[in-house]
Amino acid sequence: MRQLIQPNLLAVGYPDYCLAYVEAVFNAPNIKPSAWEAWEACEFPHTDPIPNDVSVPVWFSWTGTVDGETRNWGHVAVSTPNGVYTNPLSGSGHKVFASVPALASAYGVTYVGWSEDVSTLKVIGDDMAHITTEMRVALALGTIGTQPQDPGEVGWDGKEDQQSFDDMITKYSSLGQARQVELQTQIDQLTKANLKLTDQLNTLKNQPIPSDPDTVVVTKDGFWQALLKFLGKG
């Protein structure tokens, strides 16, 4: 599995808002009102061992009373290669635990599983999920790993092909992320330009028409009167 969405482990969390914290970590939309409902809505839930080389949501069962309503609200945190991140029980920020059992013991929750997604956003996926259109074309044309492989071929360096399939996946994934950053920069620039233009139009709209002796305001009636006078009929 590969990390599709890089987690923002500096995200700020608050008490009772574990789902909002995890959604902020992965920049996911807010869809469900509670962690338990979000867990039940996961498209890729797991109960097998949690992967230790990527960051994923981990889900818990917790029944309690919130705003006068008692039910299973659940709990969710983020398991990373460097610990389990969750919202705090008081104050703001986040808490980091060495393991899922450590978090479960401290927060009084019961672990139920992990998922590849949260709130419809897939945060990890297999290698095939990273194959872009450009890669499919390259594979179809046979342009991946085409350097000389035989000692009799010109340019052979005595080594087997070093451009592995994983290397190609990493390369094209990086290109896609760079393109996303470039497009977001363009969107931000256009947004700023639009706001500036809107301010200028609002300023002009509120300004009075200047009094200029050389400026002639022509009305419809005045135009016809002038035309008839010119034609000798006025």
Q: Tell me, what's the pLDDT at 161? A: 46
pLDDT (tens digit per residue) in 22-54: 999 999 999 999 999 999 999 999 999 999 999
Domain positions in the chain: 2-125, 127-150+162-192
DSSP state of 208: P
Q: Tell me, what's the pLDDT at 177? A: 65
- How far is residue 163's CA from residue 144's CA, in Å, rounded to a whole number? 8
- How far is residue 115's CA from residue 79's CA, in Å, rounded to a whole number? 10
Q: Tell me, what's the pLDDT at 233? A: 62
Q: Tell me, what's the pLDDT at 58? A: 98
- Arithmetic mean of pLDDT, 70-97: 97
- Arithmetic mean of pLDDT, 58-84: 96
pTM for the full predicted model: 0.57
pLDDT (tens digit per residue) in 142-196: 544 444 444 455 544 554 444 455 555 565 566 656 666 777 777 778 778 778 8
Strands 2-3 and 83-86: unpaired
E strands present in 15-109: 45-46, 56-61, 63-66, 69-72, 75-80, 83-86, 95-97
Q: Tell me, what's the pLDDT at 201? A: 76
Any idea of the CA torsion for 131, 136, 138, 142, to the nearest 10 degrees? 120
- How many beta carbons lie within 10 A of that of residue 1, not counting itself? 14
Q: Tell me, what's the pLDDT at 140? A: 54
